[in-house]
Chains A and B, each alone.
With several copies, the nearest count.
Chain A
Amino acid sequence: MAVMTYIDAINSALHEEMERDPNVFIIGEDVGKMGGAFKATKGLLEKFGAERVIDSPLAEGAIVSSSIGAAMAGMRPVPEIQFADFITPAMDAITQQAAKLRYRSAGTQTCPITVRVCYGGSVGGGLSHSQSLTSWFIHCPGLIVVAPSTPYDAKGMLKAAIRNDDPVMFFEHKKLYRSLKEEVPKEDYTVPLLKAEVRRKGTDLTAISYGYTLQLTMQAAEAVKEKYGIDVEVVDLRTLAPLDTDAFLNSVAKTSRAVIVHEDNRTLGIGAEVSAVIAEQAFDCLEAPILRVTAPDVPLLPAAAELERFCTISVEKIVDAFERTMEH
C-alpha cells in the first residue's frame, strides 16, 4: 500500500496502463513536456516518448476524434480535456461519433477511448474553469460517464476504463486532486465501472452524491449524527451513466428518505435523474420529498469569492437539507 493523492493515483494508473499495454497512448494539450496542466501525465513523455504522449494542437475536436479513429484501428487512446469548460469543440466527436459508432455499425466498429476530463469548482476558477458539464454526456446513450471521488477509485476506475471496450468519459474533480490522500494498493487492481458504493451505512436517510461533494456529504452525515443522532446512509454514485439504480433504490427502500447532492446546476443535473428514478421505482417507500442540494441555475462559477461561495455546496447546506427531510 502507498498513501496517494487523487492526482498521484491518476498518474500511476496511466504509468501502469501504458506499461501493461503498448496500445495505450496519451493525447492532449500540454500533456507532454509539461506533464499536464495539473501534472496528471507527469513523467510519461520521458518514459514512453513523444509518439505515445502527444502534445496535440489546440483543438479538442481533433484530440477526441483522432482518438476515436486510433481506437477503431486497435489502439487504446486516453485523450485529455484540460478543463471541462473547453470540451465544446469535441461535442460532435464525443456525442455523435464515439457514443454512436458501435450502435450505428451494429457492433462491428467500436472505439474504446477514455476521455479524461478535469472538472468542477470551489477552487476560484471563475466562469471558465469550474464547470461540470457531465449532464450533456449522461444524456447520451453509448457513453459511460465516470466520476470517482477517492484516490482508490480514481486509480482503479481509470484502469478499468482504459480496459473497457466502450467510450468512457472520465471526470476528475480538480478540487480533489490534491486535497485528499488515501491508501492505495501497490498491486494491479481495477474497480468495476458500473457499480455505485455505499460509503457510509445508515438507516434514517439516504444521501446520494459523487465527486467532491461526496466528501462534503460525508462530513454532513457525521455532523447530523453528532447533532441529532440521525444516521445517514451515503451512496457514492461513482458512475453517472449508466446509473447503478439498484444501489440507491435499495438504500431508499430502507431509509424512506432521499437527499441528492451535487455541485452542478439544479436543472437536469444528475440529481434530476436520480430523483425521477426514485419517484418512479421506489415511490411506495418514500416518506418525504426528495430534496436536491445543488448549485442555483446560474452560470458556474462567478469569480468573486462571495459569489462563488453562494453558488457552491457547503456542509451547512447539506445539513440543512438533511434536517428538512427528517422534519417532514
Chain B
Amino acid sequence: MTTTQDLIGTGALQPGTDSSGKDLDSALLRRLYTYMLKCRTVEDRIRVLYRQGRFAGNYFNAIGQEATEVGATIDLLPEDTVAPSHRNFVAHIMKGTPLPLMFAHIYGRKDSPDQGRSAPAHCGYAPLNIITPSSTIAAQLNIGTGIALAHKMRRKPYVVVALSGEGSTSLGFWHEAVNFSAVHKLPMIFVVENNLYAESVPVALQTAVEDISVKAQAYGIPGITVDGNDVVAVYTAMREAIERARSGGGPTLLESKTYRWYGHSEIDPAKYRDSAEVEYWKSRDPIAAMERYLTERDLWTEQWKKELLADINREIDEAISFAERSPAPQAEEALDHVYSFSIRERELERKTYSPQYPRRQ
C-alpha cells in the first residue's frame, strides 16, 4: 500500500517508479511554482512584521514546507473543506481567501474573518470552507471527518483535506478520526506533514515506525509517503487521493516528508536541531528544486521570478496597509458570538433584588 515518490529529484528519497506526475501541463507546473513562491514570500513578510512588533501573539510558519502546503491544497473546489493545523495559515492562499483579510487576521483586527478572536496562525474562512481551528492538535481532523460525513450523507462530491504534523499522530484524536473515516469510507485526505519534529521532539520519540504512512494499514486505507519537498510528487499523490475520495473510494493517508527551516514558532530558536541537519534540508529547498525542474523544461527564468515577486510583494503591501487601517475590535465585542443570542445584557446589567416582603423575626 505504501509507495514513495520522487518526481522532480530533490534527492530526498529513492527515485520512485511512479510516473503519473509526468503528464502535468506547463501551466499547472508554473502555477505550482507560483504558489510556492507566494507562500514563502507571505511568510517571510509575516516573520518580519513579527520581529518589528507589528502584531502580537505568535506565528507558526511553514517555510521549507511549501511543496506540501501547495500540493495538498491547490485546485480544491470552494465547497471542499480544508481542516488546517497551526502551521497551515498559507493554505488560505491556495483556497483563495483574500490576502487583505488574512493580514487583518494576523493583526487581530475587525476585518479578520473572526474579528480579532483567534491567535494569528489560527484562521478560518467560512465562505471557502476553511475550518477555524483551535490549537488542540488533531482536533481539526475530527471536525473535518464530520464534514465529510455530511457530504456522504447528502451525496455531495466534496472532499475534506485535513492537515496535521507527524506529532499529531500520537494523539488519540488522530486515531479516532482516521478510524472513523475508514469505517465509513468518508471523502477525506489526511495529509501528515512529517517535518521530523513536533516542537523539539524528534519523530523517533513519537512513533517506532519509519514511515507514518504505514499507519494506514491499521485502518485498512491506502497509505502513501511522498517527498514533501517535491511539489509535483505531492500534487500527483493528492490528485489521486482526491479523486478516490470524490468518487466514494474513501480516505487516504498521505505522508509528506519535509522539514521546517525555522523554529516551531517565532519565539523558538530551535536549538534542539543541529545546523548540519538544517543546512542539508535547506539545500533541498522545494522552491529551488522546482526552479531547476522548470528550467529544464524551459518554463522558468530569473526575469519571470522577479515579475512574480514584484506582483506578490505589491499584493502583500496592499494587504498590510488594509490590515493596518482596519479598526481594532471594540472592547465589548468580547461578549458577542458566545451563543446565537446576545449575552451583553446579562453580563453588563446585573440586577439587584430587594426584599418585597416584610422581614420576619
Direct touching of A and B (C-beta under 8 Å): yes
Does B177 sit at the interface, judged by CB under 8 A?
A: yes
User: With A25-B153, A166-B340 known to touch, is A302 a contact of B136 (CB < 8 Å)?
Assistant: no
Task: Assess the B143–A142 pair: CB atoms within 8 A.
Answer: no
Task: Assess the B142–A307 pair: CB atoms within 8 A.
Answer: no
Q: Summarize B's interface: helix, strand, loop or mixed.
A: loop
Task: Assess the B199–A126 pair: CB atoms within 8 A.
Answer: no
Q: Shortest CB–CB separation between residue A192 and chain B, in angstroms? A: 12
The chain B residue with its CB closest to the CB of A65 is B142
Write out the residue numbers on chain A whose beta carbons fall within 8 Å of the beta carbon of B353: 249-250, 252-253, 281-282, 284-285
User: Contact residue range for chain A?
Assistant: 35 or more
Other-chain residue from A37, A104, A106, A304 in contact with B134 (beta carbon distance below 8 A): A104
Give bound CA distance, A59 to B168, whole Å. 8
Write out the residue numbers on chain B whose beta carbons fall within 8 Å of the beta carbon of A93: 139, 142
Residues from 321 to 361 in B contacting A, C-beta threshold 8 Å: 328-340, 343, 346-347, 350-357, 359-360
Interface string of B298-320 (1 = CB under 8 A from A): 00000000000000000000000
Does B180 sit at the interface, judged by CB under 8 A?
A: yes
Task: Assess the A62–B176 pair: CB atoms within 8 A.
Answer: yes
Does B108 sit at the interface, judged by CB under 8 A?
A: yes
Write out the residue numbers on chain A whose beta carbons fall within 8 Å of the beta carbon of B26: none
Interface string of A100-115 (1 = CB under 8 A from B): 1111111111100000
User: With A127-B119, A299-B338 known to touch, is A242 a contact of B343 (CB < 8 Å)?
Assistant: yes
Q: Shortest CB–CB separation between residue B76 and chain A, in angstroms? A: 15
Does A169 sit at the interface, judged by CB under 8 A?
A: no
Count B-side interface residues using an 8 Å CB cutoff.
82
User: With A166-B339, A303-B117 known to touch, is A34 a contact of B272 (CB < 8 Å)?
Assistant: yes
User: With A105-B126, A249-B353, A287-B359 known to touch, is A310 a contact of B332 (CB < 8 Å)?
Assistant: yes
Other-chain residue from A108, A289, A303 in contact with B57 (beta carbon distance below 8 A): A303
Write out the residue numbers on chain B whose beta carbons fall within 8 Å of the beta carbon of A242: 339, 343, 346
Other-chain residue from B137, B144, B170, B351 in contact with A69 (beta carbon distance below 8 A): B144
Q: Shortest CB–CB separation between residue A323 and chain B, in angstroms? A: 15
User: With A68-B146, A106-B114, A106-B115 known to touch, is A304 a contact of B136 (CB < 8 Å)?
Assistant: no
Q: Shortest CB–CB separation between residue A222 and chain B, in angstroms? A: 22
Q: Shortest CB–CB separation between residue A48 and chain B, in angstroms? A: 12
Task: Assess the B150–A69 pair: CB atoms within 8 A.
Answer: yes
Does A226 sit at the interface, judged by CB under 8 A?
A: no
Residues from 1 to 59 in A contacting B, C-beta threshold 8 Å: 25, 29-30, 32-34, 37, 51-52, 54-59
Does A296 sit at the interface, judged by CB under 8 A?
A: yes
Task: Assess the B337–A106 pair: CB atoms within 8 A.
Answer: yes
Residues from 119 to 174 in B contacting A, C-beta threshold 8 Å: 119-120, 122, 124, 126, 131-132, 134-137, 139, 142-151, 153-154, 167-168, 170-173
Other-chain residue from B122, B177, B272, B357 in contact with A126 (beta carbon distance below 8 A): B122
Does B13 sit at the interface, judged by CB under 8 A?
A: no
* Stretch of B30-38, B201-209, B250-258, B289-297 that contacts chain A: B201-209
Task: Assess the B333–A110 pair: CB atoms within 8 A.
Answer: no
Does B2 sit at the interface, judged by CB under 8 A?
A: no
Task: Assess the B119–A305 pair: CB atoms within 8 A.
Answer: no
Write out the residue numbers on chain B whose beta carbons fall within 8 Å of the beta carbon of A51: 153
Task: Assess the A105–B114 pair: CB atoms within 8 A.
Answer: yes
Does B1 sit at the interface, judged by CB under 8 A?
A: no
Task: Assess the B143–A107 pair: CB atoms within 8 A.
Answer: no
Write out the residue numbers on chain B whose beta carbons fall within 8 Å of the beta carbon of A256: 355, 357, 359-360
Give bound CA distance, A203 to B360, whole Å. 12
Does B56 sit at the interface, judged by CB under 8 A?
A: yes
Other-chain residue from A58, A66, A105 in contact with B170 (beta carbon distance below 8 A): A58
Q: Shortest CB–CB separation between residue B327 and chain A, in angstroms? A: 10
Q: Shortest CB–CB separation between residue A313 and chain B, in angstroms? A: 14
Give bound CA distance, A101 to B172, whole Å. 21
Best-buried of A66, A103, A124, A142 by chain B (most CB within 10 Å): A66
Other-chain residue from B119, B135, B180, B329 in contact with A59 (beta carbon distance below 8 A): B180
Does A125 sit at the interface, judged by CB under 8 A?
A: yes
Give bound CA distance, A97 to B201, whole Å. 26
Does B183 sit at the interface, judged by CB under 8 A?
A: yes
Q: Shortest CB–CB separation between residue A194 and chain B, in angstroms? A: 8
Other-chain residue from B146, B179, B337 in contact with A102 (beta carbon distance below 8 A): B337
Task: Assess the A57–B206 pair: CB atoms within 8 A.
Answer: yes
Write out the residue numbers on chain A whose beta carbons fall within 8 Å of the beta carbon of B351: 246, 249, 281
Other-chain residue from B329, B334, B340 in contact with A165 (beta carbon distance below 8 A): B340
Other-chain residue from A144, A250, A296 in contact with B339 (beta carbon distance below 8 A): A144
Residues from 108 to 140 in A contacting B, C-beta threshold 8 Å: 108-110, 124-129
Does A182 sit at the interface, judged by CB under 8 A?
A: no
The chain A residue with its CB closest to the CB of B146 is A69
Does A254 sit at the interface, judged by CB under 8 A?
A: yes
Other-chain residue from B57, B142, B167 in contact with A61 (beta carbon distance below 8 A): B142
Task: Assess the B142–A55 pair: CB atoms within 8 A.
Answer: no
Task: Assess the A61–B136 pair: CB atoms within 8 A.
Answer: no
Task: Assess the B147–A86 pair: CB atoms within 8 A.
Answer: no
Does A187 sit at the interface, judged by CB under 8 A?
A: no
A-B contact pairs, 9 of them (CB 8 A): A66-B142, A73-B146, A97-B134, A104-B122, A126-B119, A287-B360, A298-B347, A299-B338, A304-B108
Query: Residues of B at under 8 Å CB distance from A?
Result: 56-57, 108-109, 112-120, 122, 124, 126, 131-132, 134-137, 139, 142-151, 153-154, 167-168, 170-173, 176-177, 179-180, 183-184, 198-201, 205-207, 271-272, 328-340, 343, 346-347, 350-357, 359-360
Beyond A73-B146, A86-B137, A109-B126, 4 additional contacts (C-beta under 8 Å) are A72-B146, A93-B142, A280-B350, A285-B354
